[in-house]
Amino acid sequence: MQRFHVLNAEPVLREALLASAGAGTRVALLESSARARSTEFTVVPVRMRTVCGMQIQAVGRALPSNYYSQKSLLSALKDVWDPTGRVTSRLERVHDAVQVSGRHLALPIEEYRNLSTFEATNDAYVRSALELGQNALCDGLAHAGAAPSEIDHIFFTTVTGIAVPSIDARMVNRLGMRPDVKRTPIFGLGCVAGAAGIARVADYLKAFPDQLAVLVAVELCSLTLQRGDHSVANMIASALFGDGAAAVVMTGADRLEKDRHKKGPTVVASRSVLFPDTEDVMGWEVCDQGFSIVLNAGVPNLVREKIRPNVDGFLADQGLSLGDIAHFVFHSGGPKVLEAFEDALELPSKALDLTWKSLDRLGNLSSVSVLMVLRDTMRELKPAAGSYGLLLAMGPGFCAEMVLLQW
Could you give the residue numbers annotated as active site? Answer: 191
Residues in Cβ contact with 61 at an 8 Å cutoff, skipping those fewer than 6 apart: 136, 139, 140, 244, 245, 246, 247, 368, 371, 372, 375
- Per the CB < 8 A criterion, the answer to whether 60 and 136 are in contact is yes
- CA atoms within 13 A of residue 379's CA, in its CB half-sphere: 13
Instruction: Determine the residue type at 160.
Output: T
Helix (H) or strand (E) holding 392: strand 388-395
Work out the burial of residue 61: count CB atoms within 10 Å of its CB; fewer than 13 is exposed, 13-18 middle, 19 or more buried. buried
C-alpha 370/C-alpha 358 separation (Å) is 9
Helices 88-97 and 70-81: crossing angle, nearest 10°?
150
Closest CA to 200 of 248, 166, 245: 248
* Rama region for 382: left / alpha / beta (φ>0; ψ in -120 to 50; rest): left
- CA atoms within 13 A of residue 295's CA, in its CB half-sphere: 20
